[in-house]
């Protein structure tokens, strides 16, 4: 399953907003939201790789991107 986990939305920008507007905002949808149940026989990471990424199943992996220093 290869779905885009980052989504974007376009908030309303009022004419009298005191702050500079952000025209596009993003949010992350975790991969577990796409599954209604856990299917049998999913591919698995090796045990050492699973400890590094935090999950045993690649379908449930979601990489973390730090927003530190990006002005978020």
**Cβ(59)–Cβ(42) below 8 Å:** yes
CA quadruple 41, 46, 51, 54: dihedral positive or negative?
negative
**Cβ(34)–Cβ(62) below 8 Å:** no
Q: Which of 21, 2, 1 is nearest to 12 (CA)?
A: 21
For residue range 20-71, list pLDDT tens digits in order.
Answer: 998 999 888 888 888 888 889 999 999 999 999 989 999 888 887 777 766 5
Q: Where are the domains of the chain?
A: 1-12+23-34+41-64
Q: How confident is the model at residue 12 (pLDDT cuts 50, 70, 90)?
A: very high
């Amino acid at each position: 399953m290869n779905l885009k986990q980052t989504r974007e939305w376009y908030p309303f920008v009022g004419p009298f907003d005191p702050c500079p507007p952000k025209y596009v905002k993003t949010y992350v949808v975790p991969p577990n939201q796409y599954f209604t149940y856990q299917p049998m026989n999913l591919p698995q990471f090796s045990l050492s790789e699973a400890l590094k990424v935090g999950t045993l199943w690649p379908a449930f992996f979601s990489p973390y991107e730090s927003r530190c220093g990006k002005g978020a």
